[in-house]
Amino acid sequence: MKKQDFAHVRHWVFDLDNTLYHPSARLFDQIEVKMTQYVMEMLGVDRAEADHLRKHYWHSYGTTLAGLMREHNVDPAPYLTHVHEISLEHLEQDAPLADAIKNLPGRKIVYTNGSAPYGERVLAARGLEGVFDAVYGVEHADFHPKPERQAFEKVFATDGIDTKTGAMFEDDTRNLSAPHEMGMQCVHVAPSPSEPAPHVHHHTDDLSGFLQKILA
């Protein structure tokens, strides 16, 4: 990572799940169980079929919710409430990460494919309350999910983000393609790097350490 790659950045956009906490917390395991339950009840299918559909919708549409909305006209609000009613007891507060984000120059936001209220709960559990200027969920993108470009455009327009002075931090490399096209610095946050791709400029398995190097 070259510090000068971020010298121009004044808009910092962070994904939530598996980005602002380590994947070892396995929150998404709980969410996936809730998703499968919802699909079973909504569509009247067994668990195996519900699991298949959940994965199919994620691959085809970006999120399970997007598939349910487009193929079955599912109301998103009850779904989002149901799947995010999970335990956050495995999350730990992270003061070094909070300090690093606070010290970044400019505006800092969270943008998740989950809901904003869920995002606020996770931030509180991580000791990141008050660190960000705003938290946006899929509801702020009119329920269009990342990686759809229109989802990013909607949220970025709402927040007034100048993508030419922006950086995006994501655990899912699919969700870095549109930000790359829009001129942002793109950082893949994950335990292991992805296959080389033009839309992934940097990789880190230590977000706090990465940000501290930018600030050094």
Do 27-83 and 3-22+91-215 have the same topology in CATH? no
DSSP 20-71: SS-GGG-HHHHHHHHHHHHHHHHHT--HHHHHHHHHHHHHHHSSHHHHHHHH
- The pTM of the full predicted model, rounded to 2 decimals, is 0.94
Domain boundaries, the chain: 3-22+91-215, 27-83
Question: pLDDT (tens digit, 9 = 90+) per residue, 66-115?
Answer: 999 999 999 999 999 999 999 999 999 999 999 999 999 999 999 999 99
Question: pLDDT (tens digit, 9 = 90+) per residue, 132-188?
Answer: 999 999 999 999 999 999 999 999 999 999 999 999 999 999 999 999 999 999 999
User: Does CATH number 3.30.460.80 belong to domain 27-83?
Assistant: no
Question: pLDDT (tens digit, 9 = 90+) per residue, 29-76?
Answer: 999 999 999 999 999 999 999 999 999 998 999 889 999 999 999 999
Assigned superfamily of 3-22+91-215: HAD superfamily/HAD-like (3.40.50.1000)
